[in-house]
Amino acid sequence: MDERVVVGDFLKDPLERLVNRVSACLVREPKYYEDSTNRLKDISNDMTEVSSIDPEFICQLAYFTRNHLNLRAMSNYIVAWAASHPVCKTFLKKYFSHTIRLPGDLIEVVEFYQLITQGEGNSKMLKIPRCLREVITSKFSEFSVYHLGKYCSEGKRKRSLLKKNSSSRKGKISMKQIIRLCHVKSPASSVMCVLGKRYPENSDVFAESGLNVEGEFNPSLSGKRMKIETPVTWETQLSAGGNKPEIWESLIKSRKLPFMAMLRNIRNFIITGVDQETHKIVQDRLRDPDQIEKSMLFPFRFFSAYDVLKIDLEQLQKLHDDPTFEPPVPEGKRGLKKKWLRKKIIPKNVPTQATIDEYKSALEESVKLATALNVKPIKGHSVIFCDTSGSMRCRISGDMTFGSVRCCMELGILFGMMLRHVCESSQVYLLSSPKPPETPTCWLPVELEGDNILDQMQTAMTLSEKLGYDNDYPFDWFDEIIEKKVHIDNMFIFSDMIISTEKMNTTFNQDNRGRTVSGILEKYRNEVNPNMKYITIDLAGYGRDMLGADLEDRGKNIVVAGYSDAVLKLVSELQTSQVQAVRESALKIS
């Protein structure tokens, strides 16, 4: 699906326009190695304009993109762009180490530099500028053997060789090439291990190589090829021990299982039958605000975990009591293809329904915490419209689902409920068509109680049956708030954008024919609030704003095309000026 974000093309401040375009990559980053990537060209053009005004801002933006927006590839692209432009080179040294986190980032920066300076498909060995060589050499010395092991271990080397011939991208750069291109010399042991050098034959050669700084000469290793061993991680421990309760219990109780890995493996904890103490540790971590905030995960990540809790406890009990029991073959294509066949797991302990319910409760808390902590609060009064028309009841494209949410209407309502939790003040409405005599308008306000997002979602779903299934637009609602001078700072519409200018003569009722969204927005801004932001989220990815609203009104109108768990963060980022946020984040660097 084509996911894109359109922002006002005529934002007067080029710095603000650049940050908005980069923030838009939260929904989906550009395809960096395709010539026809217009978004990447727009970002590059903006960086060219900004660099003539404030070249340091480019490096500050790279730092902000990685550490605040958590966009790895885009951050590395900006760093590579800065290295290829003389006006920005002097600022690389200050920001590079704080922006680059992993050995893989060094590889990607050099690849992007090659892409920017030579173009895709050029296999000629590039020449890296001195400014980039110096910062790469300095950063390489900061990586431990553990970090390098994930990118340069013997196992990684063998896998790379297997993939080399089938790689879709030619001229991919390796860590070996980076070391040679940048003349990296230290730490000597790490450099020699990555290059696969032989261990020195005697103490004199050992001293000349620089290894004496890191330890003493070991005669037993003389002449042997040096290599970085695969680090001991939770993945290697699980691979060696298997998907067994004892392994999970050990990893969890010793705090060796990262938060994201823990979230993805909740089902494995349950079906293998870990003890109750382990379940309690996991559930406590899911409720821990500090852990949620440090994870930087969006609410959907936690919501998606709900689906794995649909476990047949009766079947688990049968497996526990009788290891020879064979689970029934799933119906449909899944059963025919036999992809469902896995090694049978006999649970050590059979969980109770209370354990499953406790996980559901913990995940509900996680969703609320992630919404509150990992998404910036949206200031002012916001109005949220969720489209519940017939076209919204289709399945989410690409067979992608978020937990039990599988249609656009459910997704839009869920987005709306989550967005409500980060708004200072808000009102949620459902939008479709009138259903007289019960509902004479195409919209209905949703009165919500409590803070359980799933319960609120169900309330809205039930209420949606009071509306029709056609498409209409709330012009009468706008007329009313304009007459009453109701102040609105932000207006959000979650829809599939099936309503368009070419259909308005046949879609809308007689009273609304000839009216346009751009016209009603202009009237509201002229008479009530000239700074209201109008944001439409196209969940079906059509990329059309409802009724052709003006998308170039000084950045006040924004359309997001596509769905992603980053939409909430994107919406909150686009609410206020981000230039100051970029500058303030850079102040953390001494």
Q: Which neighbouring-strand residues pair with 387?
A: 431
| pLDDT for position 449 | 80
Q: Residues 73, 208: one domain? A: yes
Segment 353-375 shows an average pLDDT of 88
Residue 460 · residue 446 · CB < 8 Å: yes
Q: How far apart are CA 291 and CA 126, in angstroms?
A: 43
- Quickly state the pLDDT bin for 503 (edges 50, 70, 90): very low
Q: What are phi and psi of 153, to 5 degrees?
A: -70, 170
188 located within any domain: yes
How do 423-431 and 378-387 pair as beta strands?
Answer: parallel
Q: Is the pLDDT of residue 270 over 80?
A: yes
Closest by Cα among 293, 454, 256, 485 to 372: 293
The two most distant CA atoms of the chain are separated, in Å, by 96
The rounded percent of the chain whose pLDDT value lies above 90 is 33
To the nearest 10°, the Cα dihedral for 565, 568, 573, 576? 170
Q: Is the pLDDT of residue 444 over 80?
A: yes
Query: Position of tokens 């042991």?
Result: 189
Q: Residues 347, 388: one domain? A: no
Where is the domain boundary, 307, 342, 366? 366
215 located within any domain: yes
The residue segments making up the domain with residue 258 are 242-366
373 located within any domain: no
Q: How far apart are CA 480 and CA 471, in angstroms?
A: 20
Q: Residues 154, 272: one domain? A: no
Residues whose CB falls within 8 Å of the CB of residue 422, separated by 6 or more in sequence, listed in order: 371, 372, 375, 376, 377, 378, 568, 572
Q: Which helix (H) or strand (E) holds 430?
A: strand 423-431
SS3 helix, strand, coil % of the chain, rounded to 5? 55, 10, 35
Q: Residues 361, 384: one domain? A: no
Q: Which neighbouring-strand residues pair with 490?
A: 382, 533
- What does each C-alpha distance from 392 to 406, 412, 539 come to in angstroms? 11, 9, 9
The number of distinct structural domains making up the chain is 3
- Quickly state the pLDDT bin for 504 (edges 50, 70, 90): very low
**Amino acid at site 363:** L
428 located within any domain: yes
Q: How far apart are CA 5 and CA 7, in angstroms?
A: 6
542 located within any domain: yes
Where is the domain boundary, 313, 332, 366? 366
- Quickly state the pLDDT bin for 548 (edges 50, 70, 90): very low
Record the tokens describing residue 509, joined without a space. Answer: 């009722």
Q: Is the pLDDT of residue 398 over 60?
A: no
| Cβ burial, residue 216 (10 Å; 0-12/13-18/19+) | exposed
H-type helices in 345-452, by residue range?
353-373, 408-422
Q: What is the length of the chain?
A: 590
Half-sphere exposure of 43 (CA within 13 A, CB side): 27
CATH number, domain of 537, equals 3.40.50.410
Q: Residues 205, 80: one domain? A: yes
Q: Residues 270, 207: one domain? A: no
Where is the domain boundary, 315, 335, 366? 366
Q: Residues 168, 196: one domain? A: yes
Residue 218 · residue 212 · CB < 8 Å: no
Q: Long-range contacts of range 449-457, CB-CB < 8 Å, 24 or more positions apart?
A: 451/368, 451/421, 452/364, 453/303, 453/364, 453/367, 453/368, 453/371, 453/414, 453/417, 453/418, 453/421, 454/364, 456/417, 456/420, 457/410, 457/413, 457/414, 457/417
pTM passes above 0.85 = no
| Least trusted range by pLDDT, from 88-102, 467-481, 519-533, 546-560 | 546-560
- What does each C-alpha distance from 167 to 145, 382, 409 come to in angstroms? 27, 48, 39
580 located within any domain: no
The rounded percent of the chain whose pLDDT value lies above 70 is 79
583 located within any domain: no
Q: What are phi and psi of 402, to 5 degrees?
A: -120, 95
**pLDDT tens for residues 140-171?**
989 887 778 777 665 555 555 555 444 445 55
Q: Residues 90, 192: one domain? A: yes
Q: Residues 194, 147: one domain? A: yes
| pLDDT for position 405 | 62
Q: Residues 55, 151: one domain? A: yes
* 3-state SS class at 492: strand
- Mean pLDDT, the chain, rounded, equals 81
32 located within any domain: yes
**pLDDT tens for residues 210-257?**
888 888 889 988 899 988 877 778 888 888 888 999 999 999 999 989
- What does each C-alpha distance from 446 to 252, 254, 400, 427, 441 come to in angstroms? 42, 46, 27, 8, 14
Q: Residues 341, 388: one domain? A: no
Q: Residues 181, 33: one domain? A: yes
